[in-house]
Structure 1
Amino acid sequence: MATDTKGEIVNKVKQSEKLVTIDLQQYFDSTPRAELDLKQFLFKGMILKEEDFRDQLNEFDWSQFEDQYVGVFCSTDAIISKWAYMLVGQHLAPYAKEVFQGQADEMLYELYRRNLEEVDWSSYEDKFVILKGCSSKEKPVPESIYLHATQQLIPYVKKLMYGEACSNVPVYRAQ
């Protein structure tokens, strides 16, 4: 903070038109997400027996995934054939908003990445940009999204920082 000629406190950070803070949480997709571990459909959690697998899928209550993003994965070292994922996807199709292969963190990354693809990064041309550092538990921002946003911003920004306007870490400065 500085004072002007009248002795009033002036927030120079706020006055700077070139300083922009991007809160990546604004790109969070709030659609409910769930995970489905294929281990529960495997013999002893490790072996895929086709007939048993199909029977269990037919008896499973898929409606619990209504209007949710669902990440499908296997938490054991079992070898899962591609067709098994396809069968699960077929059962989820009438209920899930969308099905992903992977766990919650991979699904979260993909949802953020899609939303960030819509950003016009050139609007940050010659700006000093701060990627806001803190995210809430309700809208977590994965580290991989900071990396993705950095790659998108570097061709345009004059300076890239992480944190808050009052305390930031310089990441990149154009030459």
Structure 2
Amino acid sequence: MSEIVNKVKQSKLETVDLEKFAEGITIAEFDLKDYLFKEMILKEKEFREKLKEHDWSQYDGKFLTVQCSTDAIIPKWAYMLVVQHAQDHAQNVLFGSREDALRQIFREKLDLVDWTKYEDRFVLLKGCSKMDVPPDVYMYATKKLLPHVRKLMYGEACSNVPVYNRPRK
């Protein structure tokens, strides 16, 4: 009986699992509409009072994304006040939807990677994951990898799509 050989483990293929960059991330949402008169009008005095009364500790260690889900006209200083209140609690305060925040967090984390470790390597950007990694995150990772990799693929080791192959010199 012959031994079963795991050819994937023996290959030179290096897998980058983008989902791992999202591990431990908790995003809380703060909708300014809840702090507006009739969800449409910002009354400065009442707005400031509501912000003071808000329990900011619920955002301890979380990423906080701030937006207004109505068509209200919100002055820029209102967002600044939210940051002022949340900064000692939230890991970071970001503008936009939950998806916008996730994209920004991914980019920030990908900017910290030393991509030179993939120099002249065969790299696979893992395709299947438990979370839906946004397409623009794959694009951003691709831009980071292209100057370094010899070959870039997408998917799984057993079934992948070639994306880039550096021409031989």
Q: How would you bin the TM-score normalised by the shorter chain?
A: 0.7 to 0.9
Normalising by structure 2, we get a TM-score of 0.88
- Aligned-pair distance for 1:141? 2.6
Moved more, 31-40 or 46-55: 46-55
Match of 1:12 in 2: 7
1:9 CA drift (Å): 4.3
Q: Following superposition, which runs of at least 4 residues in structure 1 exceed 4 angstroms of deviation?
A: 6-9
Distance apart, 1:20 and its partner CA: 1.2
Percent identity between the two aligned chains: 55
Structure 1 unaligned segments of length 5 or more: list them: 1-5
Provide the TM-score with structure 1 as the length reference: 0.85
**Is 1:92 matched with 2:56?**
no
Tell me how far apart the structure 1 counterparts of residues 125 and 58 of structure 2 sit (CA, whole Å): 36
Separation in structure 1 between the aligned mates of residue 63 and residue 11 of structure 2, nearest angstrom: 40
Deviation of 1:133 (Å) = 0.6
Deviations 1:122-153 (A, max 9, x none): 2212222110011214xx53222111110011
Aligned equivalents of 1:52 and 1:35: distance in 2?
21
Matched with 1:47 is 41
Match of residue 138 from structure 2? 146
Gaps of 5+ in 2: none
CA distance in structure 2 between the aligned counterparts of 1:102 and 1:109, rounded to whole angstroms? 10
Q: CA RMSD in A?
A: 1.9
Contact 1:65–1:92 (Cα < 8 Å) also in 2 = yes
Q: What is aligned with 1:168? A: 160
Offset of 1:96 from its aligned partner?
1.9
What is the CA distance between 1:10 and its match in structure 2?
Answer: 3.6
1:158 aligns with 150
The aligned length equals: 167
Measured in 1, the distance between the counterparts of 2:83 and 2:100 equals 17
**Counterpart in 1 of 2:124?**
130
